[in-house]
Amino acid sequence: MKACVLGRDPEVSGIGLGCMGLGVNYGQPQAKQAGIPRFTEQARKANEPIVGLLCRTAAARGHHHQRRPRHRERSQRVYGPRNRQEKTPAIEGSSTMTSQVPLLTLNNGVQMPAVGLGVFQTPPEQTTPAVQAALEAGYRHIDTAAAYGNEHEVGEGIRRSGIGRPDVFIETKVWISDYGYDQTLHAFDKSAAKLGTDWLDLLILHQPLPSDFDRTTGAYQALERLLADGKVRAIGVSNFMPEHLRQLLDATSTVPAVNQVELHPYFTQPDVQKADAQHGILTQAWSPIGGITFYRGTGKGTLQDPAILAIASAYGKTAAQVMLRWHLQRGRSVIPKSIRPERIAENFDVFDFDLSAGELDTLDGLDTGTRGGPDPASITLEHFGRPIPEA
Ligand SMILES: NC(=O)c1ccc[n+]([C@@H]2O[C@H](COP(=O)([O-])OP(=O)(O)OC[C@H]3O[C@@H](n4cnc5c(N)ncnc54)[C@H](OP(=O)(O)O)[C@@H]3O)[C@@H](O)[C@H]2O)c1
């Protein structure tokens, strides 16, 4: 059973075709400490470490803003005053529970756990236990969306875990039906109320709306407002192709912190990864173990790929773990979804081995160029619009 609210499900309903392509390695040095790259391209230019291993709970609360002055030339863009005072209100509660999860530093200094739990297609009644299982396993990051229809249950899982709100990184998404400046401000209120929090760690636009980009821009400007008001710690986008990023950057002041896109061994989107890196945007992989290649029952899935299985067997790991490790070593954020506690734990058990450069290249080389999800260019309100209920 799916958890989406109404209508067609844009995250699984489209098939796109592309050409064969190779994955890219942006030359990120491997971090021996955490076993994942310490620098993204943009952070490396700024000589700034992007990954650290933190033996505590909080996604360190470096709440900086990622604004850049309007009207600056692109070459002069900045990601925001890095020492700006924390404005996020209501940092209440604390936790005695600890987690060892590597952190990625976003372009405004906010730190985000590199591995989070995704809850797309997690039915509401299974969401609270899944979130609790994840937090118990050590996750400190949950990725949900207004369109998944389970934000309330995500909030409930966090509350029942006993882990303090500041120690869990909550990411959610605004659906296209709520785009436009005022509607998106209200979308924040709806999501925050359902999640049971006054503030969000990361709020992103779920899709570009190429047929009405002004609405997309208005929505993003609302995110900028929320960021300035300290209601969200970071803002970003999802499924933005390079041309959508260009359009957005031309019309707004804040470089997105994150671009969440379909990314697994069979679809690596090197052009998107390159554009993200050029702009200082962290690429976050959805369907990181290739769920979209098998959960619709179409074709050979990544979990059965012989090359991935061969690497997995050499390390005594599973195919899912090898794919997650590949993302982490390439500097990407991952948000694998599962409703099963044993798989949730398995997907978090990825910090005790290192893939070789050759193995990373092998995984990059599996790219087929074929998209599993809908082509972002095809997203319209007519086909994908659906009301997002009030809290
Ligand atoms: N922004 C977007 O447009 C967009 C689109 C899609 C997804 N997302 C986000 O990305 C998250 C992850 O993507 P996804 O759900 O599409 O795919 P995924 O995480 O790559 O794969 C999930 C599928 O794999 C199964 N699974 C999980 N762990 C496994 C393991 N260790 N071994 C074998 N099977 C395993 C799950 O089944 P069980 O649950 O039965 O274990 C489920 O069928 C979503 O939950 C959502 O948060 C965002």
Ligand 1 center to 253 CA (angstroms): 33
Residue nearest to atom 20 of ligand 1 (CA): 287
Residues of the chain with pLDDT under 50: 1-10, 12-65, 67-78, 80-96
Q: Is residue 388 part of a domain?
A: no
Catalytic residue annotation: 148
DSSP 3-state of 282 = strand
To test the pocket of ligand 1, the residue of 269, 286, 339 to mutate (highest count of ligand atoms within 8 Å of its CB) is 286
Cα–Cα distance, 105 to 185 (Å, whole number):
26
d(CA 48, CA 256): 18
Measuring from each residue's beta carbon to the nearest atom of ligand 1, which residues come in under 6 Å? 11, 118-120, 143, 206, 238-239, 260, 286-292, 295, 303, 318, 320, 335-340, 343, 346-347, 373
CA of 377 to the centre of ligand 1 (A): 23
Q: Which atom of ligand 1 is nearest to the CA of 207?
A: 3
Residue 60 in any domain: the answer is yes
Number of domains, the chain:
1
Closest residue to atom 48 of ligand 1, CA basis:
286
User: Can you tell me the distance from the alpha carbon of 303 to that of 324, in angstroms, rounded to the nearest whole number?
Assistant: 12
The CB-side HSE value for 175 (13 A sphere, CA atoms) comes to 26
Helix (H) or strand (E) holding 283: strand 282-286
Handedness of CA 156, 158, 162, 167 (dihedral sign): negative
Domain contains 356? yes
Q: Are 102 and 351 in contact (CB under 8 A)?
A: yes
72 Cα: distance to centroid of ligand 1 (angstroms): 39
Residue 110 lies in a domain: yes
- Write the residue with the smallest CA distance to atom 11 of ligand 1: 118
For residue 264, being part of any structural domain is answered with: yes
The answer to whether position 6 is within a domain reads no
Among 120, 176, 237, name the best residue to mutate to test ligand 1's pocket (greatest count of ligand atoms within 8 A of Cβ): 120
> How far is the C-alpha of 142 from the C-alpha of 135, rounded, in Å?
9
pLDDT of residue 36: 39
What local confidence, expressed as pLDDT, does residue 261 receive? 98
Domain residues for the domain of 61 are: 41-367
Distance 121 CA to ligand 1 centre (A): 8
Residue nearest (by alpha carbon) to ligand 1 atom 25: 338
Phi and psi dihedrals of 213, rounded to 5?
-70, -25
29 falls within a domain: no
Return the number of other C-beta atoms located less than 10 Å from residue 316's C-beta: 8
Closest atom of ligand 1 to 344 CA is 28
Gap between the Cα atoms of 4 and 146, Å rounded: 9
Ligand 1, pocket-test mutation among 142, 203, 289, most atoms within 8 A of CB: 289
- Cβ of 93: how many Cβ atoms within 10 Å? 12
- Which ligand 1 atom lies nearest to the CA of residue 346? 31
Does 216 reside within a domain?
yes
Of 203, 201, 331, 317, give the one whose Cα is nearest residue 263. 331
Residue 300 pLDDT: 74
Q: Give the domain CATH number at 279.
A: 3.20.20.100
pTM, full prediction: 0.84
pLDDT at 9: 47
